[in-house]
């Protein structure tokens, strides 16, 4: 495990993320992969363009053709029958069902506490405020493929239900049996999802954004996905609501010499095992801590499962950085704006107020990210790639929208009207000014 | 003024909006305009592509070249000197300055009331919550060109300042004198904007998203713009935060026979005068009300300023629809999801709870949209094009982001750890399970 003692080197290597998948070497690899699937060396953007265009114009016909190409088989129908979703629990180990139920309860508990509420304020000019309403129909993307993530079903669908969304639809790619795995369906049943579709990738985004005969058009699409999903979400942004553009997962751990190095190493491996693009970075306070943690990682990796993923991830995006003080470490963390920030230091609460950009902060050694991923309560869908500078984890705010309330009173017309008319004229909008003054004239008529 | 008595016709004409600018007839017109500017018949998407690419790679050099092409002159510097911004108030009529100050005070008042605050909740497993932090640097787009909108400066910059953003930057296209007009600069001074740049269009979006030697890279870009700005915002979404994609402005008025028809007509004209793409639609309750309102619009337009814009707007996107009842009218309004919804009916508060999708609702005859545009308090930047189904007006939420707080206690590891480990294993993430169990082993060692 590499140790980086020079902060400038750290900033210009692992803390400086790579480019976007579409403009990095990923581009060439994607072209090669697409040559096999599409018989042309298409870029990610070109594939997504084609999928969006075809699904918009041909609907299910295009979806079936694309599924045959990408998934390698011809789907008969994308909708998973409701009785199959309902029966899925029985096909999953009881222990897993109970764990899903505990997770669901915790996620519900946390999200019920922050459902945005409308409010009003009154003064002598009228009543103003915000009316909060649920987004009616949401489409949730649940990755499949190499792994299945029932936890993501809960993290997206439960907040939607808590916020009162009328219809909650999940798209998840089909496994070998032609539909998402039973554990995904069980999670959907536990979360109260209305409909599940065996669809993934950019084609799921296209179907949800435009609607087809079998897949309903939704108002907002949420959830993670690969580079194709990210590009498709970017393209349909504005046509439909989009939560955020997800990239590879990241964890930045700040550790002093208080935690057992093997604990830090375990957290690093838990992060790195996600996929070869995942980033697991430690900022150690002092050279001794750094050396001990690096050694513990090297030891742990020897007997760890998923070793080739761990090695790829750590070689490309991982490392132990030596920082001279926690202030420097916090500055580096804020500049990086990680998805997950773990504070494995003495007196960790002292540093929470210094966190300026992070998806989630894990305070102290018992606050294990791997527990937060499943059952703590807050969502595990968090901003990646430095987007924590401007975006948030999935919260209830993602499932509602606001209507501004203007109830200007007669007294408000008198008090505010002249200034509004002045500004309208300063902007060259004479008819605005006249609309205001028409009320004043009317009042004169009726003698108010 | 056309009256549409058949609701199916209404739904398939004015209530069904046109396509996106880039795929409508606007496409051909854009190619023609771009042939003059760029010497090639480029689409909007192609122009935006080129601008983004050039500004990303060449910075200010590209900005100067693009400005020379688009604005027709070679800008020496884009940054407006601070002393010129500060002195602009003196170049604006006192009445306008006072109106801007009143508007600023009202906007501040409304937004100070809804700055999101962090919160925590504790149970036997630990402490969870949300930490709210301001977005550090925001770039605000203020349209120029045919009109100047100082009100938009206030509507964007004051919430940013209220929320604690560290740096607030405005980009607005230069007028004939090479910089934004004095009233824009005066509004910037009143709102406490840090820096103003004489830049508009997709090049402003590019500069703010990537940064150049003279324009700082920001964390989020907010504000309205034309089809080029909309396309540029869509492209950089995810690289930088984006508020929403703005389209032409819209007002839907529901009117019974209680308001004076000339009042309704005045509101219609105030909306239609924005630009030829603006939509001003009335849903009248009953044929008599419809006829009276249509006649009043026809009369008012005779003596109205900006008549050619009014006529173009009303011919393409305006009309009076006859609805048999207010319930039907509300259904039509919710399906349309207008930017502005005005309730010019008896007992208007009764219908506020029926509003499901709208940017803003104006309750009753004195609640004049033209006052709300300037001095009521809530932002006038609201979702257009039906995006009120999933998005909100600009509020304080646009200027902050959330970090989820996880402070799991030792008791939480014991209570939640086994379920989290089960779910990790169900997802094939063995190292996650081990990271949890490593803590339990550690506890045994120290005898906890």
Q: CA-to-CA distance for B392 and B384, rounded, in angstroms? A: 10
At A101-115, the pLDDT tens digits run: 999 999 999 999 999
pLDDT class for A445, splitting at 50, 70, 90?
low
Nearest-5° Cα angle at B27, B24 to B32: 150
Q: For A312-316, what is the mean pLDDT?
A: 94
Paired with A407 in beta bridges are A127
The partner residue sitting opposite A364, judged by closest CB among B113, B367, B407, is B407
**CA nearest A256: which of A228, A284, A282?**
A284
pLDDT class for A18, splitting at 50, 70, 90?
low
Q: CA-to-CA distance for B149 and B146, rounded, in angstroms? A: 10
- Percent of chain B exceeding pLDDT 70 equals 95
Q: What is the ipTM of this complex?
A: 0.95
Q: Indicate whether A20 pLDDT > 70.
A: no
Q: For B213-218, what is the mean pLDDT?
A: 97
pLDDT of residue B62: 96
**Mutation target vs A (from B108, B318, B333, B376; most A CBs, 10 A cutoff):** B376
The partner residue sitting opposite B375, judged by closest CB among A103, A220, A419, is A419
At B240-257, the pLDDT tens digits run: 999 999 899 999 999 999
Residue with tokens 């007669």: A410
Residues on chain B touching A409 (C-beta within 8 angstroms): 366
CB contact under 8 A, A402 and B422: no
- CA dist list (Å): B299 to A208, B279, B293: 46, 19, 10
pLDDT class for A447, splitting at 50, 70, 90?
very low
Residues on chain B touching A365 (C-beta within 8 angstroms): 439
The partner residue sitting opposite A368, judged by closest CB among B151, B367, B408, is B408
CB contact under 8 A, A388 and B403: yes
Q: Indicate whether A58 pLDDT > 80.
A: yes
Q: Considering A340, A365, A369, A380, which one is annotated as catalytic?
A: A340
Q: For A319-342, what is the mean pLDDT?
A: 98
The domain segmentation of chain A, as residue ranges, is 3-18+248-390, 21-71, 82-244+397-401, 409-445
Q: Indicate whether A442 pLDDT > 70.
A: no
Q: How many CA atoms lie within 13 A of A315 on its CB side?
A: 7
pLDDT class for B26, splitting at 50, 70, 90?
low
pLDDT of residue A393: 98
CB contact under 8 A, A98 and B397: no
Residue with tokens 């301001």: B134
DSSP state of A15: T
At A220-241, the pLDDT tens digits run: 999 999 999 999 999 999 999 9
pLDDT of residue A208: 98
pLDDT of residue B18: 60
Of residues B197 and A21, the one with the higher pLDDT is: B197
Cβ atoms of B154 and B187 closer than 8 Å: yes
Shortest distance, CA A444 to any CA of chain B (angstroms): 14
Q: Is A427 a catalytic residue?
A: no
The partner residue sitting opposite B237, judged by closest CB among A131, A245, A377, is A245
Question: Residues 381-420, chain B: which have Cβ within 8 Å of A?
Answer: 382-383, 385, 387-393, 395, 397, 401-410, 412-413, 416-420
CB contact under 8 A, B371 and A413: yes
| A307 part of contact set with chain B, CB < 8 Å | no
| A115 part of contact set with chain B, CB < 8 Å | no
pLDDT of residue B72: 77
Q: For A3-23, what is the mean pLDDT?
A: 78
Q: Indicate whether B56 pLDDT > 70.
A: yes
Say yes or no: do domains B3-18+248-390 and B82-244+397-401 share a fold.
yes
Nearest-5° Cα angle at A9, A5 to A10: 75
- H-assigned helices in A13-93: 26-38, 44-58, 60-70, 82-87
DSSP state of A240: B
pLDDT of residue A444: 57
Q: Tell how strand B241-242 and strand A400-408 pair up.
A: unpaired
Instruction: Kindly report the CATH number that applies to the domain delimited by A3-18+248-390.
Output: 3.40.50.1980
| A183 part of contact set with chain B, CB < 8 Å | yes
Cβ atoms of B378 and A402 closer than 8 Å: no
Shortest distance, CA A148 to any CA of chain B (angstroms): 6
Q: What is the mean pLDDT of chain B?
A: 93
- Percent of chain A exceeding pLDDT 70 equals 95
At A364-401, the pLDDT tens digits run: 999 999 999 999 999 999 999 999 999 999 999 999 99
Q: Tell how strand A195-198 and strand B279-285 pair up.
A: unpaired
Name the token pair of B1.
């003024």
Q: Indicate whether B329 pLDDT > 60.
A: yes
Shortest distance, CA B228 to any CA of chain A (angstroms): 14
The dihedral formed by the CA atoms of A390, A394, A395 and A398, expressed in degrees to the nearest 10: 80
CB contact under 8 A, B402 and A390: no
Residues on chain A touching B240 (C-beta within 8 angstroms): 390
Residue of A nearest to B434 (CA): A266
| DSSP sequence for A188-226 | HHHHT-SEEEE--HHHHHHHHHH--SSS---SEEE----
Residue B305: which residues within 8 A CB-CB, separation 6 or more? A430, A431, B273
Active site residues of B: 339-340
pLDDT of residue B280: 97
At A138-184, the pLDDT tens digits run: 999 999 866 789 999 999 999 999 999 999 999 999 988 889 999 99
Decide: residue B123, CB within 10 A, 0-12 exposed, 13-18 middle, 19+ buried: middle
Question: Residues 225-264, chain A: which have Cβ within 8 Å of B?
Answer: 230, 234-235, 237-242, 244-245, 260, 262-263
Of residues B177 and B18, the one with the higher pLDDT is: B177
Residues on chain A touching B433 (C-beta within 8 angstroms): 370
Residue of A nearest to B411 (CA): A366
CB contact under 8 A, A219 and B390: yes
pLDDT of residue B177: 80
CATH class of A82-244+397-401: alpha beta
Q: For A426-436, what is the mean pLDDT?
A: 96
Name the token pair of A114.
């922050």
| B350 part of contact set with chain A, CB < 8 Å | no
Q: What is the mean pLDDT of chain A?
A: 93
Q: Indicate whether B436 pLDDT > 90.
A: yes
pLDDT class for A416, splitting at 50, 70, 90?
very high
| B356 part of contact set with chain A, CB < 8 Å | yes
pTM of the model: 0.95
Residue of A nearest to B93 (CA): A426
């Amino acid at each position: 495990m590499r140790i980086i003692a020079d902060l400038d080197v750290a900033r210009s290597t692992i803390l400086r993320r790579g480019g976007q998948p579409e403009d990095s070497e990923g581009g060439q690899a994607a072209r090669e992969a697409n040559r096999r699937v599409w018989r042309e060396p298409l870029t990610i953007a070109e594939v997504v363009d084609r999928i969006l265009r075809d699904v918009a114009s041909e609907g299910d016909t295009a979806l079936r053709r694309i599924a045959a190409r990408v998934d390698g088989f011809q789907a008969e129908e994308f909708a998973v029958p409701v009785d199959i979703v309902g029966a899925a629990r029985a096909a999953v180990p009881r222990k897993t069902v109970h764990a899903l139920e505990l997770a669901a309860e915790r996620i519900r508990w946390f999200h019920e506490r922050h459902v945005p509420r409308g409010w009003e304020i009154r003064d002598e000019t009228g009543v103003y405020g915000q009316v909060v309403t649920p987004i009616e129909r949401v489409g949730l993307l649940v990755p499949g493929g190499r792994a299945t993530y029932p936890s993501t079903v809960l993290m997206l669908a439960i907040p939607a239900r808590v916020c009162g969304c009328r219809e909650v639809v999940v798209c998840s790619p089909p496994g070998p049996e032609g539909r998402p795995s039973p554990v995904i369906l069980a999670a959907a049943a536990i979360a109260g999802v209305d409909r599940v579709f065996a669809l993934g990738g950019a084609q799921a985004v296209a179907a949800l954004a435009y609607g087809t005969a079998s897949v309903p058009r939704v108002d907002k699409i949420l959830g993670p996905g690969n580079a194709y999903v990210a590009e498709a979400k970017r393209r349909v942004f504005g046509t439909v609501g989009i939560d955020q553009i997800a990239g590879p997962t990241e964890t930045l751990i700040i550790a002093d010499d208080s935690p057992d190095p093997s604990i830090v190493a375990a957290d690093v491996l838990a992060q790195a095992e996600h996929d070869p693009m995942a980033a697991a970075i430690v900022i150690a306070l002092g050279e001794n801590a750094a050396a001990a943690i690096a050694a513990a990682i090297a030891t742990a990796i020897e007997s760890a499962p998923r070793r080739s993923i761990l090695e790829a991830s750590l070689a490309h995006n991982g490392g132990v950085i030596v920082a001279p003080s926690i202030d420097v470490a916090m500055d580096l963390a804020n500049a990086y704006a990680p998805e997950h920030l773990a504070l494995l230091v003495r007196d960790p609460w002292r540093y929470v107020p210094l966190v300026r950009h992070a998806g989630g902060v894990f305070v102290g050694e018992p606050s294990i990210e791997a527990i937060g991923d499943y059952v703590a309560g807050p969502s595990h869908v968090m901003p990646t790639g430095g987007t924590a500078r401007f975006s948030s984890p999935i919260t209830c705010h993602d499932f509602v929208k606001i209507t501004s309330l203007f109830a200007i009173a007669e007294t408000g017309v008198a008090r505010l009207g002249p200034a509004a008319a002045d500004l309208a004229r300063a902007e060259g909008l004479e008819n605005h000014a006249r609309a205001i003054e028409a009320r004043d004239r009317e009042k004169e008529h009726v003698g108010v």
